[in-house]
Each structure stands twice: as C-alpha cells, then as structure tokens.
Structure 1
C-alpha cells in the first residue's frame, strides 16, 4: 500500500510538467520538505497533457512520451513515487509502466473504460471527484474500481460547481467519501479555480489555498493535492492557482500542525 495512515499524504508538483527546468526546482523543494518533515508521504505530480484547456490555443504540455520520460527522471533522481493523469484508456499501460499512481481527471471520473484500464495496470488509482458530482455519487466510481480489481485507490475532492466560474468545497465531503472505504484527499489548488473566468483560460484565487487546506485537514481529509511552480506567473496552465515553491514550506508546516492536532499527535 502506498497510502500510510500514519503520514500526511502530499501529492505535489507543477500543473504541467512543462520541462526539466520547471520540474527540478519543485523536486528539490519537496526533497527538503521530506527531510524536514518525516511525517510526510510525498508523491511527485505533473501532467504530460492538459487535454481540457479552455481554449484550443492553450499550451497542452510536453506530451505522453516526453512527459513520462520527465516523470521517470524525477523518480530516479529524487526517489519520489510519481503520479500523472491520463485521458484515453489506450494510454493506461504506458503510464502504468512509469507511474506509481494513475490519476483520473475530474471531468472523466465516470468514464468506465478509463477506470477499468487504470485498475488493470495494478497501480494505485486516484480519482478526482467531478465538479458535477455529490460525494455520495462517488460510491459508483469506487465500485467500478473495486470490480475492476484495483488494489488501492484514492478519492480527491476538488470543489463543486457553484454558479458560473466558481467552485465551492463542502467540508462534509471528506467524511462521506471516507465512508466508502478509500482515502479522501483535498485538491487545494484546483478548488480555488475560477473556470473559464480569465478570458479564454481559467482564473483562480491562490490566497484561499492555505485556509481551505487547513480546513480540509481539520474536517478529516487524509491528504493534500497541491500544485506548485517556480514562477506561477509564467506557468503554461493554472498559474493563478499554483503556489510559488518558496511559499510551500510555511504552508505545509501549518497544514501539518492541523493534521497532528486532529489526530492528537
């Protein structure tokens, strides 16, 4: 099992893998965090293809082959397990050869063939709860994974559509999703997105990441998903939501304090 209930699970990395020059500073920062906080269970994340960009003109990233090569390099050089999302069932086998965790994007969380393909790799599967789903509806997603033979799977809350260009996080979600028998993670950066609100691209309010992350842990979340970047202003995707790498140590320290307090540590 990759999930360890005695440690705070942290899935962190850039939104898009972009390049080695983007990934290495993030991995180096995470290495320092791991040494400083042995109670963290860190998984390095990054997307090889941003397939659901708002605009056709949006940069989608390095692509499958180059992206997997980057993830393999980060795994070999820094020792972290790695996770990436995929969008077509035909990609599952190749992703499973490199990644310890396969992620199902929120918009695709009910795609049966995608879920079964991920389960068939034997790797951990992390499913983002769709913005259009209630926590209770994740029961059917979880059942598909169980019936597909997934050995370990996680659920990630990333906010629910609340009117136009806005998301809201229902803190009851974590208890409801955990009741389904799988860990519940909070996606702190995508939950502050403002989808399509920035003139053909997604906007966001990163200043709300810290309070929401701490609130989620206080509500019982088992882990955090946080996108972080050396220079969010120059990120090819989700720049307004990503945390600058220099702000991560203080953010994680405050989150660990809440996590420990909830568990009586």
Structure 2
C-alpha cells in the first residue's frame, strides 16, 4: 500500500497529576528526519521515541511536540522555612550594604526558587503515559499517511490510464506516421539522389524509416506503466522506485517527441510529458 509522507496527528491525556498533549507532523523529505520538542523533565524519552519512529516510518521530516502541564494543588503548597530564613539573612546583608535598596514583598519572596515547595507528580507515571500517548499518536499518523497515500495512488492511476490512452492513439496513427515518414524522406532525397540506383534508394529509405520507427518507445512506455502499477501494490516504501520510473517514462516521451513527423504524434508526446510531470509531483510526497 502506498503511504504519503504528509500527515498530522494529535492526542491528549488528562489525569489527576496533570495533562499531556502530543502532536506529530510529517512532510516529504528524502530520508527520515525526526525533530523533537519535549519538556525538560521528559527529554530522556527522545531516544525511545526516535527508535519507535524508525521502526514505523522510512522517509519524511517528522516533528514531534510534547507538552506537559502538571496539576497544581494549592492545599499541598508548603513554605521551605530554611530556604526562607537563608533568604532573609541575605536580604539583611543587602540592606546593611545598601540602606536605600527596596525590599521584596511577600509574593516576590514566595516566587524565589526553593521558597515555595509544590509537590510534583510521579514522573515515572508521567513517562509511562507519555510513551503510551506517543504510540497512539503515531498509529494515527501512520493511518493518516496511508489514507493520503490511497488518494495519491488513485491520482497516479488516473494519469497512467491517460498515458495508456496516448500510447494507444500513437499506435492507431502508426500507418499514417509511416506513410508520412516515407513521403518526407522521398522529398528530402529527391534533391540529393542525383543518379542513385532505384534499389539503393529504396534500401536507404527503408533504413531511415526503421530508425524513425517508434514501436520500441511505445512498448517501453507500456512496460513502464505496468511496472508503476505493480509498484503501487507493493508493501513498504516505493517512492524512490516510482521516481526512477518517472525518469524512464520521461526519457521515452522525449524520444517519441524527437522522432515525431506528424502533428498528432507531437501532441501525444507533449501530453505524455505533462502527465508524467503531474505524476512526478505526486510521487514526491510518497514514502
């Protein structure tokens, strides 16, 4: 199944100890490139998150943002008397050294680090829940990439059908193309043939017609279209293979255009190149 590299997922968790919110965003990138924004107390989860991503995803720039808001219970607040006394001693020294210095009010004293103690949650419990939240959010992200991949595959298949239609049109025009090639070659040789032997002239015409034949290009276009369709059904990442096949399709379309001798063939070649470019743009988002 084709997976897109573009998706977004978000999960929240509320508990007595606070709340967790986790967001995952992914966009197209040649390789897997994870970026993490984690709270200070949960930074040691990054290696685990990174390894989990590598097991589930092959390509894409992935941004992981985890937010943690601990619950604050005012009844559990306590003043650290020792810390407050040490701060009072320091303030007394400041006042003796600088008599006119303004002193902080009570709220400012409580805001000093270590004076007001607020019991925090059990961080081991928070980390366990954060891991579960990451796993659930990643499941959502992978599912979103799969849904987007189905849409991309459908768009590509539409273009493949259009490519097949253009190839069929060129095949239908082949008798006209060959006749036109013969006429053009005769006109070109008419001025240069002088007294060429008729049999030699016919042999030269046949050789030039064979060189201008596009049967091989049409066969290869058909084969490449079949391989693209096969890759769309393969499990695992297929984006790089599809990108290579677009290059091969474009090569055959260019050759077809260079061999064109009638306007209809030129239009078909141009349409092929447009369709191939449209597919290539979609494939840039496929994992």
Same fold (TM over 0.5): no
Q: Which entry has the higher C-alpha Rg, 1 or 2?
A: 2
More RCO (CA 8 Å, sep 6+): 2
TM-score normalised to structure 2 length = 0.20
User: Which of the two has greater helix per residue?
Assistant: 2
User: Which of the two has greater strand per residue?
Assistant: 1
TM-score normalised to structure 1 length = 0.21
